[in-house]
Structures are given as structure tokens and as C-alpha cells.
Chain A
Amino acid sequence: MEHIVIIGNGISGITAARHIRKLSDKRITVISAETDYFFSRTALMYVYMGHMKFEHTQPYEPWFWKKNRIQLVKAFVKNVNHQDKLLELQEGQSISYDKLIIATGSKPNKFGWPGQDLKGVQGLYSKQDLDGVEKYAPDNKTCKRAVIVGGGLIGIELAEMLRTRNIPVTFLVRENSFWNGVLPAGESQMINEHILEHHIDLKLATNLTEIIPDENGRAKAIKTDKDETIECDFVGLTAGVSPNVDFLKNSGIDIGRGVKVNRLLETNITDIYAIGDCAEQHEAIGYRRPIEAVWYTGRMMGETVAQTICGNKTEYKPGHWFNSAKFLDVEYQTYGWVFSERSKKDSEKHFHWRHPNEKICITVAYHSDTNKFLGINTFGIRMRHEIFDRWLTEERNVEYVMEYLKDANFDPEFYTHYEENIIQKFNTEMGTSITPKKKSWKRIFKIA
């Protein structure tokens, strides 16, 4: 029986394992050095915050793996010997494979800052990182202040976590507004305000230069490029992630920043595939980045590679881009492409609406010549994935999207709706006279 070995038990590796099992009877082994069972990395923050126990982050009960004949091995793979199709483990043993899937995910970026490897300095990615936060920042007595370096999604999550234990947080952001490499200005500004509302000391346009140790090799302060020294007991490094592929350096597998793969997710070596955060496309797909460190893309690659391995050669062809996040109390969803001022083309125009008091806003991107709808960002309003996916496929124009916006709303029942206000502003700005259509189940579910 063909033996499929998967390195990494994150969302990509486990999705691949599950789908291979659905499609075939192959022998499946999943190796991880991190944890015994698959857990949701995105939920680690909720464990620290006391919303959940670690067990709750595991989507499958322990019996699931046995029942589905997915063998779990807790070990660290030191090297891949593709000539003999062998994996050499740290502990000395080796495991042979017929087909190998590399799904080792990411590791937090460190940019050579002095003191970056001190105790109490870490990212937030793995279970071990969670244990680290719990150890170095269990409360505001042990940790009188924390400094977070890097203004992205994980940075703001770490800040939120620490604030739930009343630990003062200083948040260093390189950009002059939070995440404005991705978010348009209005949205970025709103999140700046929201961060301050949560009593997080947000320092924009500020970089870390050095982390200063105490006599025990533990971080005691940091220095910024504005010559400010901030005393702290914990430093979170959240300036992005990069593929966790160091162990493959001398394996003969083609490595760029990540494991180089083609659209079939194949590496340069036959029978070795790479998926998820650690995979790097030879050429970026559409507007996507060559390395996509996103939960959803990891899952999609897992689904795709399972098809290929089970004899149905399938290219990784992600559909319309979508993503979501939560900034403290504000939910964010995006469908299609909305670029920030820094990276958008001239032909991409934005319509922005923001609620006068609440932390609610949307930005709709459209083409300046054709008015074709390009994408939407929403904050504090939930939208229906299917609807936007359909509108993007049908290449609707922005007026159509406005007219039928009520179909797309996904907020819970009895919530206040803002379509009227949004469209009123749209009409004023664009000189149109769109009247919103009432929500229709028939349209939403395409019932004739």
C-alpha cells in the first residue's frame, strides 16, 4: 500500500490527510514535533484570554485519527533523503515514504535585532509560543509592560491578549498608520483609533533597534529608532512570518524563501509536494503573493494536493480572494481585491463609507473606466461569501453591487442595517440615483 507521509499537522497537512483518506485507502502518516493533535493555530489567543481551553482548539476528538487510519507521529524531521525516500528524525530513527507532503508552515520573522533570542522575546505562532507568553507574561506583576514589534494581524492579536490580563502594552508599528500596506487609509485610521480605545500605547512610524538583556539573559527593555528606551518584561516579535524550511537546506529540494512548487504543488523532486505557508509558487497567481501564509489557502492547497496524490492531477487554482480577521472588537472581511493607497493601481478607485459613531465602515474598489466591481472590505458588517464570490465571477459593476447590497448582508437578525446610508453616500459622491433592492431569498439561493 502506498505510504503517504505528511510533515506538519497544521491546517494544510491535516486537510490533505483527510481528503486523501476520503479519496483512497492509502497508508497515511502525519509527523509533527509541535503537538500530538491538530489544533487551530488561529485560536491560540483565545486560550490565553480564557475563552477556551487548549483542547477546545482541537477540531477532532482523539479517536478520529485512529478511526480514519491516520497515523500520528510526534517527532522532528531533521533531513529528507529523497534518493532513498527516507525521513531522518532528530531522535535517530527514520521513516520511509512513497510520497511526501511538506506542510511545515511558518516561523516568526526575526530581522537580526540585537537581543532577538533573549528569554521573554518571541513570536506568536506555535503552541510553544503560547506556553512562552503564559510563562513570561502571566499577569501584570510578572510582566509590568510588554512591547510588541510589528503592526500586522498577529501583533494586534497579541496586544489584545495581553490587555485581557491588564498588562500595559506598547505597540511599535513601522508604518505611519496601522497595516496601511494592506488597508486603505480610512480603514487603517479607524483601527488606529480602536487600538487607542483599548488603552494600547500605539507608536506609529517607530522601529525596534535593540532589545536589552538583564543579568539573567532576559529582556528588560527595548530601544527604538527614536532613541527611546522602554522598560519591559516581554517582547513580542510579530513582523510577519516566513516559511519554516531550514531543515531542507541541503536536501536537494529547490528552496527559495519557501519550498518552490509548481501549480500542481510539486517540488523539483518527484513524489515530494509542498503545501500551505511553506510553499512558494514559481510565479504568483493573479494578485496573490507567491507565498500565501493564510489559513484558507493552506486548506485549499491541502484539498488540491489530495486530488493529485489520489490520481486526479489537479492544479492549485484558488478562486476569488477572500480573507477575514478581527481587530480587537472589530470584525473584518474582504472579498476580491481592495488595495491600499500604497499598492493600488491608478485605475482602482475606492468608495468609502464610515459610520459616524460606531467602528463600522466599508470600502468598495472598482475600476475607474469600466466601473467593474473589484472587491470590498467591510469592518463591523458581515457579508455573505457566496454572494460576493458570485458577483466577482459575473464581473458585476459597482452600481449593481450597491443596488443588491442587501442580499449580501450577513449580520445577525435584528441588527441595524446601513445599506440605505451607504447607498445615499454613494449616490451623492457618484451622482447616481440607485435605490437599494429588498433582500431576496430567491436571488441569494438562485431559486428559480
Chain B
Amino acid sequence: MKTIKNIGLIIFLIGLAIFTALPVIGTYSLSSEQFSDFVDQKGIKSELFITDIEQNIVDKSFDGMLAFAPKVTKALENANALHRKNKEYKKVIYTKPHDMAAELGKKAGSGFIVDNKGLMWFLTFGLGIIGALMFILPNVVLLGQKGIKNNGIYHENATNRGWIAWLVFIFLVSFYLILYFRSEYAVNWTYLVDPISQSLSGNLAGQWFVYGFMYCVVMVVMAIRMYIKYRHNMYQMVRTTSVLFFQIVFAFLIPEIMVRLQMPYYDFKNAFPLDYDFFFQWNLKSLLNSGGIGLFILVWGIVLTLVIVPVMVYFFGKRWYCSWVCGCGGLAETLGDPYRQHSSKSLFSWKVERWLIHGVLLFALVMTGFTLYGFFAETSTVLGIKVQSIMDTYSFLIGAVFAGVIGTGFYPIFGNRVWCRFGCPLAAYLGFVQRFKSRFRITTNGGQCISCGNCSTYCEQGIDVRAYAQKGENIVRSSCVGCGVCSAVCPRGVLKLENGPEQGRINPTQVLLGNDPDLMELVNNK
């Protein structure tokens, strides 16, 4: 069994190594026909750019994206600079330089990778999946009896912020940086999943399709790990299945299929303000121009945020969204599970959390106010501020850096819910409802707590669960996503996630159950 695991690890690492090498290898050669098609298709009017590319790139062969991309970005930047200087605004190209490099790169890619997409898929994703499963599946036997399987978490390098954790951190951060800011280096990855993309939406894959596909693959593999680890705990089994279903069907398949059916790309479970660009002008316009389905999405999106989300939080707590439906939560609960113990439980972190998450919510709401005003008043400046620049700032700081690079990249160091805890504006909104008007709580079982600290240690949201449990108080906290792990790891059966009557949900106590009842009344009536 151990051997199978080790072989699996090697296979996985081979797959990972090939995947990691892909951004910098491959051959790129752009033919003049390809380029002129591209120019027509994009409607590029800058003769400077066109000549530059024709002279420096067309009909030449480049080894690797590192040689190809700078030529494109430079050509674009030079051309735009000159056009701006000459006030030839019609000729300015508004595609961002790195996106342009990615688009041209996608056309120019040639050679082994492009000719053997299936094989390359197998050598990366295929080996990764097979290796990971070989590493995970033997645990059915190796982990032994049903029960809590946290042995050695703080002895293992990978789960105790050792060098492996730091390597994972660097890998994840680099991956997100490429995805958001240097998409030309993701071009080779897109080839691997082109066949899958074409079979779904009919289009070739872009970097976001790679991301979406990979997200699903990672979640499936790591969900299998969850199923094995928590096989004694039905709540975890059901919850993992739910989160997997919503990711694969709602976040991945339905939007792609909608594109094939000429409908707008839309994830029906992604609620504003997590879906921060829902009210952006381009989105509203695209929805309004998409006929019946566009209008339906518009109404659905508004009803989802204003009615469905809070009503469900009232009945079930914010867990129904954050740990049962949401994609960010889904990744956190599968890929992120080995790192859940790293969330800080200090009071200081809680203070930072409250300022940050509510700050982001405020930012999202103000930004949306501006965009909506701009949309209805048909102006691009509100109160002297360019609406576009607010949206760009949010997209960059919150959408890309916070949610992506920090949110997932920092899993191995700060735990798996950095984004959900400190940044997600939807979580902040759900949190208000959960804290002030909900039936959900984590019930503390009388006086049974022994202050061991397992619950606090394994709370991914950094809630000091023990602080409440050892006082006999129920846990009613806006940040709780109801993952249920505190209840699972409790050795004394103290914690239970419940949707019960609101009355008595918050129960501050002076004296714990078990001591004489007279004393209890005496103190409580004081």
C-alpha cells in the first residue's frame, strides 16, 4: 500500500512537472494568413502595430513564449504610445498587451504540443489524476478504523508550514499570477483542454476554461480524499457531494453549454456581490441584448441576492451557500482541507477580519452604486470619478489579488478560507443575516466541554470555538460557514450544528450545567 502511494506520488509529480514546464516551452510561428485573419477579426486599425508584427513575428519561428510574448507586447505598447501622442484615438488598440500576446500566441502555437493535445492532456492532467488517486485511495486501508484522521498533521512538513507547504504556496501564487496577469504563458495549457472546450461550448479554450476545468478536476480528486477521511461522518459526505455537484454542474457545465446555445455565460449560483461585475455596464448591456434568457438572468440575479440568499440563511445559516454551494468554498473544503488548521484564532485576527471584510462589502456596494448611476444616467463619470477606474481597481485588488492570488495561493500558510473570512463581500452580507436573524447556531452540549481545543484548531474561519464551548455558550458567529468540522473533531460530543428556534439561540451563561441548579439561578438572577 505504501509502495502504491509512493509510485502515485512520483507519477503525480511527473505530471505536475510537465504542466509546470509548459508555460515556457513550445514553438510559436505565425503565418501571414493567420495574422491578417486575426487583424480583420479583431478590427485592428493600427498600421504601426500591424507592420511591427509583420516584420518581427510573422513567418518566423520562436522557441517558447519568453521569446514570443515580449515582441507582441512591445509592438502594442509602442504603437499605442505613438497613436496617443498623435491623438489618433481611433487607432489605439484597447486589448491589453498581455492579452494580445495570449491571443496571438494561441494562433501561433505549433509543433508537438499543438499536434498532440490528447497525449499532452494525458501527460499533465492524466498523470496528475492517476498519481493523485494512487496516493489517496490506499488510505481506505491505511487509515484504519473509521474516525478522526488528524494524526501527524503538525508533524508533517506539508501541513505544518514546512518547505513543501512553501513550495505549494509559490506554485499556487505563480499559477494565479499567470492566470490573471500574464495569460500568454497559459497558452500551452489551453491547448490541452481545447478538445473538451470544443465539445462543450464549441469554442477553443482560453485560460479561464483551463482554470474552470482544473478547478473541477482538483475538487473531484480532493473530494475523494474527503470521502475517505470523513467516511464516518455523513454530514461531511453529503456536504462534499453537494459542493462538488454545484461546482461541476452550475459553475462549469451550464455556463459552457449556455454559450453553445448562444446565451450569455452565467453561473446561476454565483450571487452578487461575490459576482461583483453583475451590475457592470457591459454585463447589463449583454443581458439586456440577450432576449428572454438575459432578462431572466437579470431578474434571477437580483432575486437571488435580495430574497433567496437571506431567506435560506434564515433557515439554514450561511452554510447553505458558503460550504454547500459556493465554488470558493468548494475549493476550500476539498483542496484546502489539509490546511484548515492554519487560520489564526487570535483576537487580533478577528479585529482585522471585521474591518477588512466589511470594508470590501462597502467597497463593492459603493462601486455598484456608481456603476448603476453611470448606467442609468448614461455617464462615465460620477462625482468627478471615472466609474471605469473604480471598477478596474476593484477587479484588480479584490477580484484578482485578494480572491485569487491571496485567497487560494496562501492556503498552505494562512489556511483555506483567507478569502472567505477576510474578503468575500457576499460572506459579509450573509454574516449579518446569520448573526442577527437566523435559526442556525452551533449548540454547545451543556457542560461537557473539556477545553481541549480541537474545535478551535480545526476551525477554518479562525473562530475560537472553544472560547464559547467551554463556557457552555452556543456559537453564533457571522463568519461561521457551517463546515461541521468542529463538531466532527470534538472528542466529547459537545458541538452540533442545528437549525432551531430563534428563542434562546444566544445563551450567555454564568455557571455551567452540572453544578447545582440553585446556584445557577442565584447567579443568573443577580
Interface residues in chain A, defined as those with a beta carbon under 8 Å from any beta carbon in chain B: 11, 40, 42-43, 46-47, 49-53, 56-59, 61, 63, 164, 197-198, 295-296, 299-300, 303-304, 307, 312, 314-315, 317-320, 322, 324-326, 328-329, 331, 333, 382-386, 389, 393, 410-416, 441-442, 444-445, 447
Q: Is the CB of A40 within 8 A of B452?
A: yes
The 8 residue pairs across chains A and B that have the minimum distance between CB atoms: A385-B446, A329-B147, A382-B493, A317-B516, A43-B452, A414-B234, A50-B152, A50-B155
Min CB gap B250→A, angstroms: 22
**A416 / chain B contacts, CB cutoff of 8 Å:** 234
Q: Is the CB of A52 within 8 A of B446?
A: no
A197 to B147, CA, bound (A): 13
A413 to B488, CA, bound (A): 11
Q: Is the CB of B145 within 8 A of A329?
A: yes
Q: Is the CB of B234 within 8 A of A319?
A: no
**B156 / chain A contacts, CB cutoff of 8 Å:** 50
**A42 / chain B contacts, CB cutoff of 8 Å:** 450-452
Min CB gap B233→A, angstroms: 7
Give the A-B contact count at a CB cut-off of 8 A.
173
Known: A50-B153, A333-B492. A40 touches B450 (CB 8 A): yes
B497-526 interface with A by 8 A CB criterion: 497-498, 500-501, 503-504, 511-519, 522-523
Known: A46-B452, A304-B515. A410 touches B151 (CB 8 A): no
Query: What would 15 A/B residue contacts be, using CB atoms closer than 8 Å?
Result: A52-B453, A164-B152, A198-B145, A303-B512, A317-B516, A318-B516, A319-B516, A319-B517, A324-B450, A328-B145, A412-B233, A412-B496, A412-B497, A442-B501, A447-B504
B467 touches A (CB below 8 Å): yes
**A320 / chain B contacts, CB cutoff of 8 Å:** 514
Of the candidates A57, A318, A382, A441, which one forms a contact with B501 in the assembled complex, judged by CB atoms under 8 Å apart? A441
Known: A51-B154, A322-B448, A329-B146. A59 touches B453 (CB 8 A): yes
Known: A42-B452, A410-B493, A412-B235. A59 touches B519 (CB 8 A): no
Of the candidates A53, A325, A328, A389, which one forms a contact with B147 in the assembled complex, judged by CB atoms under 8 Å apart? A328
A150 to B496, CA, bound (A): 33
A48 to B467, CA, bound (A): 23
For B453, the closest partner residue in chain A by CB is: A56
B188 touches A (CB below 8 Å): no
A320 to B447, CA, bound (A): 11
B491 touches A (CB below 8 Å): yes
**B500 / chain A contacts, CB cutoff of 8 Å:** 441, 444-445
Min CB gap B487→A, angstroms: 5
For A386, the closest partner residue in chain B by CB is: B446
Q: Is the CB of B234 within 8 A of A415?
A: yes
A328 to B149, CA, bound (A): 11
A384 to B347, CA, bound (A): 30
**B152 / chain A contacts, CB cutoff of 8 Å:** 49-50, 164
**A314 / chain B contacts, CB cutoff of 8 Å:** 519, 522
Of the candidates A51, A315, A445, which one forms a contact with B151 in the assembled complex, judged by CB atoms under 8 Å apart? A51
Interface residues in chain B, defined as those with a beta carbon under 8 Å from any beta carbon in chain A: 144-148, 150-156, 232-235, 237-238, 346-347, 443, 445-448, 450-454, 456-457, 466-467, 470, 484, 487-489, 491-493, 496-498, 500-501, 503-504, 511-519, 522-523
Q: Is the CB of A317 within 8 A of B519?
A: yes
A445 to B498, CA, bound (A): 13
**A304 / chain B contacts, CB cutoff of 8 Å:** 515, 519
Of the candidates B144, B347, B484, B517, which one forms a contact with A412 in the assembled complex, judged by CB atoms under 8 Å apart? B484
Q: Is the CB of A333 within 8 A of B448?
A: yes
Q: Is the CB of B457 within 8 A of A385?
A: no
**A317 / chain B contacts, CB cutoff of 8 Å:** 515-516, 518-519
Q: Is the CB of B457 within 8 A of A51?
A: yes
Query: Per DSSP, are chain B's interface residues mostly helix, strand or loop, or mixed?
Result: loop
Q: Is the CB of B151 within 8 A of A300?
A: no
Q: Is the CB of A307 within 8 A of B454?
A: no
A224 to B379, CA, bound (A): 91
For B488, the closest partner residue in chain A by CB is: A412
**B144 / chain A contacts, CB cutoff of 8 Å:** 198
Min CB gap B53→A, angstroms: 57
**A300 / chain B contacts, CB cutoff of 8 Å:** 512, 514-515
For A322, the closest partner residue in chain B by CB is: B514
Min CB gap A35→B, angstroms: 14
Known: A50-B152, A445-B501. A57 touches B448 (CB 8 A): no
**B346 / chain A contacts, CB cutoff of 8 Å:** 61
Candidate in A58, A299, A383 with the most chain B CB atoms within 10 angstroms:
A299
Q: A300-B514, A303-B511, A319-B515 are in contact. List 18 more A-B contacts (CB 8 A).
A: A50-B154, A56-B453, A56-B456, A57-B452, A61-B347, A296-B448, A300-B512, A300-B515, A303-B515, A315-B516, A322-B448, A326-B491, A328-B145, A331-B492, A385-B514, A412-B496, A413-B235, A415-B234
For A198, the closest partner residue in chain B by CB is: B145
Min CB gap A388→B, angstroms: 9
**B503 / chain A contacts, CB cutoff of 8 Å:** 445, 447
**A63 / chain B contacts, CB cutoff of 8 Å:** 347
A389 to B453, CA, bound (A): 25
Q: Is the CB of A50 within 8 A of B451?
A: no
A70 to B345, CA, bound (A): 22
**A447 / chain B contacts, CB cutoff of 8 Å:** 501, 503-504
Q: Is the CB of B447 within 8 A of A322?
A: yes
**A328 / chain B contacts, CB cutoff of 8 Å:** 145, 147
For A330, the closest partner residue in chain B by CB is: B147
**B516 / chain A contacts, CB cutoff of 8 Å:** 315, 317-319
Candidate in A57, A303, A383, A411 with the most chain B CB atoms within 10 angstroms:
A303
A382 to B490, CA, bound (A): 11
A164 to B484, CA, bound (A): 24
A365 to B148, CA, bound (A): 30
Min CB gap B312→A, angstroms: 16
**A59 / chain B contacts, CB cutoff of 8 Å:** 451, 453, 466-467, 470
**B512 / chain A contacts, CB cutoff of 8 Å:** 299-300, 303
Q: Is the CB of B445 within 8 A of A410?
A: yes
Min CB gap B202→A, angstroms: 40
**A57 / chain B contacts, CB cutoff of 8 Å:** 452-453
**A299 / chain B contacts, CB cutoff of 8 Å:** 447, 512
Q: Is the CB of A386 within 8 A of B145?
A: no
Min CB gap A385→B, angstroms: 3
**B448 / chain A contacts, CB cutoff of 8 Å:** 296, 322, 324, 333, 385
For A11, the closest partner residue in chain B by CB is: B451
**A11 / chain B contacts, CB cutoff of 8 Å:** 451
Q: Is the CB of A52 within 8 A of B154?
A: yes
A393 to B514, CA, bound (A): 12
**B451 / chain A contacts, CB cutoff of 8 Å:** 11, 40, 42-43, 59
Q: Is the CB of A385 within 8 A of B447?
A: yes
Of the candidates B153, B235, B515, which one forms a contact with A415 in the assembled complex, judged by CB atoms under 8 Å apart? B235
Known: A319-B515, A319-B516. A331 touches B493 (CB 8 A): yes
**B235 / chain A contacts, CB cutoff of 8 Å:** 412-415
A295 to B451, CA, bound (A): 10
Known: A42-B450, A52-B154, A59-B467. A410 touches B514 (CB 8 A): no
Q: Is the CB of A414 within 8 A of B497?
A: no
For A60, the closest partner residue in chain B by CB is: B467
Candidate in B238, B452, B488 with the most chain A CB atoms within 10 angstroms:
B452
A447 to B514, CA, bound (A): 22
**A442 / chain B contacts, CB cutoff of 8 Å:** 501
**B237 / chain A contacts, CB cutoff of 8 Å:** 414
Q: Is the CB of A386 within 8 A of B501?
A: no
**B150 / chain A contacts, CB cutoff of 8 Å:** 49-51
Min CB gap A12→B, angstroms: 12
A13 to B525, CA, bound (A): 25
Candidate in B153, B235, B493, B512 with the most chain A CB atoms within 10 angstroms:
B493
Of the candidates B445, B467, B504, B518, which one forms a contact with A385 in the assembled complex, judged by CB atoms under 8 Å apart? B445
A328 to B489, CA, bound (A): 13
Known: A307-B519, A441-B500. A46 touches B492 (CB 8 A): no
**A307 / chain B contacts, CB cutoff of 8 Å:** 519, 523
**A322 / chain B contacts, CB cutoff of 8 Å:** 446-448, 514
Of the candidates A58, A296, A315, A444, which one forms a contact with B447 in the assembled complex, judged by CB atoms under 8 Å apart? A296
